[in-house]
Amino acid sequence: MQQTPPPRLALVTGAQQGIGAAIALALAEAGADIAVNHLDDAAAAEALCARIRALGRRA
């Protein structure tokens, strides 16, 4: 019986911009789904989620 690896999920805080956004994108490119946490810029966080979804990952 072949085992499949468990799904990978990362929680990235401060992900709306800067280092947090870069880390979220890098993890998504590596195959992780991303839980995006943001403080006050919902539009920037949603734009990041759209970029992550464009990579075929969940955000």
Inter-residue contact 59 to 32 (CB < 8 Å): no
Residue 59 domain-assigned (yes or no): no
For 6-24, write each residue's pLDDT tens digit.
Answer: 669 999 999 989 999 999 9
| pTM of the entire predicted model | 0.85
Residue 20 domain-assigned (yes or no): yes
- Would you tell me how many other CB atoms lie within 10 Å of the CB of residue 43? 9
User: Is the per-residue pLDDT at 4 higher than 70?
Assistant: no
For 18-55, write each residue's pLDDT tens digit.
Answer: 999 999 999 999 999 999 999 999 999 999 999 999 99
Residue 15 domain-assigned (yes or no): yes
Residue 2 domain-assigned (yes or no): no
Q: How many domains is the chain partitioned into structurally?
A: 1
User: Residue 11 carries which side chain, given as an amino acid letter?
Assistant: L
pLDDT at 52: 98
Residue 4 domain-assigned (yes or no): no
Residue 28 domain-assigned (yes or no): yes
Range of 32's domain?
Answer: 9-54
Residue 34 domain-assigned (yes or no): yes
Residue 42 domain-assigned (yes or no): yes
